[in-house]
Amino acid sequence: MPEGDTVWNTARVLQRALAGARLTGSDFRVPQLAATDLTGWTVRESASRGKHLLLRLAATDAAPWTLHSHLRMDGAWRAYAPGERWTARPAHLIRVVLRSPAAVAVGYHLHELALVPTADEESLVGHLGPDLLGPDWDADEAVHRLAADPDRTIGEALLDQRNLAGVGNLYKCEVLFLRGVSPWTPVGAVPDLPGTVALAQRLLAANRGRWTQSTTGVLRRGGTSYVYGRRAQPCRRCGTAIRKEELGERVTYWCPACQPGVELPPNGQDRLR
């Protein structure tokens, strides 16, 4: 599940593979960039902001441009050695290939692929709230933004990247379980909003640098989460069956006993019944 930590890790993969390198070829397989050729451009750096990837590069002595991409639910970047087979995903999912003398970066099923002047980067990511894994993380500002809409459910508010950037379904569910807060609780009724935000930041930070996302500290398969992906399985704390609610791409898992209070999604029937 690409959330802030996965995107942070991906930015680091691209940084190691390409930073400082002069591209020997590029191949864009999306209509909006089909005519773009970055051959001869130098990759300056790779960065992440929330769930957005920013690859900054420039032609000689020119102002830098940013290649933006978003992984959403299913995108990925992989770095290969020249000549190595690209095995991560089927070839028809490839959206871009960047070649350097030492590495080939392949972007699979990327979304929102765009090339903009770095000076205009804010047009792509300026709407985002504080980045949980960014150098300028600002917990007070994130709390302030969340609290600005007290009637919204906390589950939805945590996913809104304008409040804080980096949380997806996995961390939303796990943070609220660990805080004992029902996902359907209005933000204004969450007992300790700063504590909730601080925990989200700690969980994401703990998963930087590894690809297995764990909120339990356990890395073995089946043990990495408290509630996420565990529908109908017994809660690790109280044994109650974990519930699941799905609304489009928004998935919520919770323990009705450990996270009491508001029981059901507002104006939605429990789809488990």
* Residues engaged in binding Zn ion (CB under 5 A): 235, 237-238, 240, 255, 257-258
Tell me how far, at minimum, the Cβ of 237 lies from Zn ion, in Å: 5
Q: What pairs with residue 250 in β-bridges?
A: 247
Select 69 or 259, whichever has its Cβ closest to Zn ion. 259
Known catalytic residue: 246?
no
Let me know if 202 is a catalytic residue. Answer: no
What is the SS3 assignment for 22? strand
Catalytic residue among 51, 78, 145, 243: 51
Q: Which listed residue (72, 236, 237, 250) is catalytic?
A: 250
Between 167 and 227, name the residue whose CB sits nearer to Zn ion. Answer: 227
Report, in Å, the least distance between residue 207 CB and Zn ion: 23
Tell me, yes or no, if 72 is annotated catalytic: no
Kindly tell me the sign of the dihedral angle through the C-alpha atoms of 187, 194, 234, 212. positive
Tell me how far, at minimum, the Cβ of 42 lies from Zn ion, in Å. 53
Q: Is 271 designated active site?
A: no
Q: Which of 171, 45, 56, 36 is nearest to 117 (CA)?
A: 56
CA 221/CA 213 separation, integer angstroms: 10
Quote the least distance from Cβ 136 to Zn ion, whole Å. Answer: 36
Contact 72, 111 (CB under 8 A): yes
DSSP code string of 80-113: E-TT----SS-GGGEEEEEE-SS-EEEEES-EEE
Q: Which is nearer to Zn ion, 108 or 254 (CB)?
A: 254
Known catalytic residues? 2-3, 51, 250
